[in-house]
A and B are shown apart, each in its own frame.
Chain A
Amino acid sequence: MAGKREEKKDLARVAAEKRAAFGADINMDDYSPETAAHPYQDDLSAFSQAEQDQMLMAGVDFSAKNRSGTFVQKDLSVVHSRSTQEGMEIMDIEEALKQYDWLHEYWWQAVPVDMDKYTSRAELHQEHGYFIRSMAGAKSVYPLQACLYLEQDNLAQDVHNIIIAEEGSELHIITGCATAPHVTQGLHVGISEFYIKKGAKLTFTMIHNWADKVAVRPRSATIVEEGGLFLSNYVCMQPVGTLQMYPVAYLVGEGATARYNSILVAPPGSEIDVGSRVLLKARGTRAEIVSRAITTGGKIIARGHINGLVPEIKAHLECKGLILSDEGVIHAIPELEGHKQEVDLSHEAAVGKIAQEELEYLMARGLSEDEATATIVRGFLHVDIEGLPPELKAEMDKAVEMSEKSLL
């Protein structure tokens, strides 16, 4: 195993200066690689009110009543990690690697370690991250939650997460990323590798609550086996400096399904380049990518790429953008790629301002222009997500609603 890890490190060293395909090039030397360690908190209520408030905006429930497990990493220290349901594991990835030798087989199996300088950095400077696994046949009663928190200003946080839904299991995860109120800048590099085994179902709802000048470079990939379902919901409605990610799902087993849903809001100063990509590699696979982007002055590039490699597959891409300020930019880049005759791929993209007709319709019912605008924007952001359990939909709506207040 040690030899294998060394191989990965060698590959990472070679890619240390490799620029990413998309997004501004970040000078990673600008960020501090070290900070003081934080103590482990057995009790979630020991977190300060300010921390709780920030994490709450990212979907973290501190009562943990409606959660089957919780993981919190503050800066470079794992400060809380506990599962409360049989069959659900949640722990520090370092612990997991020590405990399970086989886990090394999953390390950089979905995401290439030499993809770019960020994956390279994650391998060479990695400090923790989480491991979440649902055992074969187990079903999470409540979602598990994980939070990655930046407490130290100007810190570089490099984490590596592995999530495994074993055969026939059902796993629901909410992850939030947040910064302390005093943090204005920092770097977050997060590797997430998802493995969904035969007939398993994984829903992953990620809410980002960064700060003005934070640079964010997640790198994630998912491998879905036969009959598996991967449902990813991503919400980023708070300011962020620069955020670029292009997660990919490989549907390798027959009948596997992936759905990506993203809600993006860019206030002035935010640069967001987010896409989702699905490779349909087995018969009967399905994919859907939906994104909703709003700019109130920032820049959003909304990408999407569906690649149908075998016959009898079906996929749809939907990309909608609302421009609420002339200072803002939305650039939608939907891509469809078919390699066989019997692929059924479609897309729908629309970018523009709020339709006058819709505004007037609501105003004729007595809503003021501002109220009508708010109603339409809210509707735009509230996407019905097929397959998402109602409790998770409620969590997501809650996160969206909290952010709407600052948006409107």
Chain B
Amino acid sequence: MARKSSQQNGRLLVIDDLKVEVKGKEILRHVDLAIDKGETHALFGPNGSGKTTLLMAIMGFPAYQVTGGKIVFKGQDITALPLNERAEMGIGLSFQRPPTIRGVKTRQMLEIFDKGEAEIKSMAKGLDFEEFLDRDLNDGFSGGEIKRSELLQLTAQDPDFLLLDEPESGVDLENIALIGKVIEELLQRELKPQEGKSRKELKRERWKSGLIITHTGYILDYVDVDRGHVLMEGELACSGNPREILKTIKEQGYEECVNCCRI
């Protein structure tokens, strides 16, 4: 019943009373979150509050064990689905610390998604990544190179729902602009004026969605997001206008922001 109505509302992701454990320790509890088709949300919260854990649980990493509640994606309960099946359903994640895989080239990762030589070249060019294509995957990549490599792979994968964990951290100013632009495109955030269509109509035509973790909010200068959430000690403590939340956190801290929400 609930499933049907969520579909009708254009719900892409519905998280219901989620509880997640890592190595037997409860990290997340009572997490409820809904993201509609075409929407991008921001996730804030202090270090160790469980933001990465939430993303990993949505993607389906076995170490992040769901011990209660459920995750529904595109109307299907995916709580028990393996990683690769979630990827196939259209969920994509950028890793913060991806492992080095010896003998596997970044280029091969793009070929997985049936990208031809020309397409690979132009995608890599867009992220200034051509010289790394034939290096072992993630081998000795700098922080900024990792971000670009992850985004390059996500561009090839082209998922409907993107999970981005601090995409701007450790990235220099020039590259933030570059990365911001790519994410904006991946999430269809840019609204190109079109004759006879209002902004509202244009927004409704989007089908890409995302959840972006950010501390600094720099990425929000490039990617306009619809909603923000604050995670505190494993619970979603506040939701609302992302820019207002960020402003409150910056000026008064997380506690105050959460108090503010409660009112």
The interface of chain A, by Cβ under 8 A from chain B, is 355, 357-358, 360-369, 372, 375-376, 378-383
Residues of chain A within 8 A of B99, CB atoms compared? 355, 357-358, 361
Measured between C-beta atoms, what is the minimum distance from B12 to chain A in Å? 18
Contact between chains at B103 and A365 (CB < 8 Å): no
Contact between chains at B101 and A358 (CB < 8 Å): yes
Residues of chain A within 8 A of B40, CB atoms compared? none
7 intermolecular pairs with C-beta atoms under 8 Å apart: A358-B99, A363-B84, A364-B92, A366-B112, A378-B103, A378-B104, A382-B103
Query: Which chain B residues numbered 192 to 241 have a C-beta less than 8 Å away from chain A?
Result: none
Measured between C-beta atoms, what is the minimum distance from B59 to chain A in Å? 6
- Provide the bound-state CA to CA distance between A367 and B85, in Å: 9
Contact between chains at A380 and B103 (CB < 8 Å): yes
Measured between C-beta atoms, what is the minimum distance from A254 to chain B in Å? 33
Known contacts A360-B61, A366-B112; A379 and B103 CB within 8 A of each other: yes
Contact between chains at B104 and A364 (CB < 8 Å): no
Query: Which chain B residues numbered 128 to 143 have a C-beta less than 8 Å away from chain A?
Result: 136
Measured between C-beta atoms, what is the minimum distance from A260 to chain B in Å? 18
Measured between C-beta atoms, what is the minimum distance from A352 to chain B in Å? 13
16 further contact pairs, Cβ within 8 A, besides A361-B101, A382-B103:
A360-B62, A363-B84, A363-B87, A364-B61, A364-B84, A364-B93, A365-B92, A365-B157, A366-B112, A366-B157, A369-B82, A369-B84, A375-B104, A378-B104, A379-B104, A381-B103
Residues of chain B within 8 A of A383, CB atoms compared? 103
What 1/0 mask marks residues of chain B from 68 to 112 whose CB sits below 8 Å from any chain A CB?
000000000000001110011000110100110111100011001
Query: Which chain B residues numbered 150 to 196 have a C-beta less than 8 Å away from chain A?
Result: 153, 157
Name A364's contact: one of B87, B102, B103, B136 (CB within 8 Å).
B87
- Provide the bound-state CA to CA distance between A5 and B178, in Å: 74
- Provide the bound-state CA to CA distance between A381 and B92, in Å: 28
Contact between chains at A364 and B83 (CB < 8 Å): yes
Measured between C-beta atoms, what is the minimum distance from A371 to chain B in Å? 8
Residues of chain B within 8 A of A366, CB atoms compared? 84, 87-88, 112, 157
B156 (CB) vs chain A CBs: closest residue: A365
Residues of chain B within 8 A of A372, CB atoms compared? 84
Residues of chain B within 8 A of A369, CB atoms compared? 82, 84
Q: Which of B84, B88, B95, B98 has most A Cβ within 10 Å?
A: B84
Measured between C-beta atoms, what is the minimum distance from A376 to chain B in Å? 6
Known contacts A366-B112, A375-B108; A361 and B84 CB within 8 A of each other: no
Contact between chains at B95 and A379 (CB < 8 Å): no
Name A363's contact: one of B82, B98, B103 (CB within 8 Å).
B82
List the 6 closest A-B pairs by CB distance, nearest first.
A379-B103, A379-B104, A366-B87, A363-B83, A363-B84, A382-B103
Residues of chain A within 8 A of B98, CB atoms compared? 361
Contact between chains at B104 and A376 (CB < 8 Å): yes
Measured between C-beta atoms, what is the minimum distance from A262 to chain B in Å? 15
- Provide the bound-state CA to CA distance between A369 and B82, in Å: 10
- Provide the bound-state CA to CA distance between A383 and B59, in Å: 32
- Provide the bound-state CA to CA distance between A381 and B104, in Å: 10
Residues of chain A within 8 A of B103, CB atoms compared? 378-383
B91 (CB) vs chain A CBs: closest residue: A364
- Provide the bound-state CA to CA distance between A382 and B88, in Å: 28
Contact between chains at B101 and A360 (CB < 8 Å): no
Residues of chain A within 8 A of B82, CB atoms compared? 363, 369
Contact between chains at B108 and A361 (CB < 8 Å): no
- Provide the bound-state CA to CA distance between A173 and B136, in Å: 28
Residues of chain B within 8 A of A380, CB atoms compared? 102-103
Measured between C-beta atoms, what is the minimum distance from B86 to chain A in Å? 8
Residues of chain A within 8 A of B153, CB atoms compared? 365
Measured between C-beta atoms, what is the minimum distance from A334 to chain B in Å? 18
Contact between chains at A367 and B84 (CB < 8 Å): yes
Residues of chain A within 8 A of B95, CB atoms compared? 361, 364
Contact between chains at A365 and B112 (CB < 8 Å): yes
- Provide the bound-state CA to CA distance between A383 and B136, in Å: 11
Residues of chain B within 8 A of A378, CB atoms compared? 103-104
- Provide the bound-state CA to CA distance between A198 and B82, in Å: 59
Measured between C-beta atoms, what is the minimum distance from B85 to chain A in Å? 9
Known contacts A360-B61, A366-B112, A367-B112; A379 and B102 CB within 8 A of each other: yes
Contact between chains at B101 and A379 (CB < 8 Å): yes
B61 (CB) vs chain A CBs: closest residue: A360
Name B87's contact: one of A358, A365, A375 (CB within 8 Å).
A365
B89 (CB) vs chain A CBs: closest residue: A366
- Provide the bound-state CA to CA distance between A363 and B92, in Å: 11
B134 (CB) vs chain A CBs: closest residue: A384
- Provide the bound-state CA to CA distance between A362 and B233, in Å: 30
B97 (CB) vs chain A CBs: closest residue: A357
- Provide the bound-state CA to CA distance between A380 and B59, in Å: 26
- Provide the bound-state CA to CA distance between A360 and B84, in Å: 8
- Provide the bound-state CA to CA distance between A365 and B61, in Å: 12
Residues of chain B within 8 A of A364, CB atoms compared? 59, 61, 83-84, 87, 92-93, 95
Measured between C-beta atoms, what is the minimum distance from A380 to chain B in Å? 6
Measured between C-beta atoms, what is the minimum distance from A355 to chain B in Å? 6
- Provide the bound-state CA to CA distance between A378 and B95, in Å: 23
B163 (CB) vs chain A CBs: closest residue: A364
Contact between chains at B84 and A368 (CB < 8 Å): yes
Measured between C-beta atoms, what is the minimum distance from B72 to chain A in Å? 19
- Provide the bound-state CA to CA distance between A211 and B75, in Å: 54
Residues of chain A within 8 A of B136, CB atoms compared? 379
- Provide the bound-state CA to CA distance between A349 and B88, in Å: 36
Measured between C-beta atoms, what is the minimum distance from B211 to chain A in Å? 15
- Provide the bound-state CA to CA distance between A362 and B88, in Å: 12
Residues of chain A within 8 A of B83, CB atoms compared? 360, 363-364
Residues of chain B within 8 A of A376, CB atoms compared? 101, 104
- Provide the bound-state CA to CA distance between A262 and B154, in Å: 35
Residues of chain B within 8 A of A360, CB atoms compared? 61-62, 83
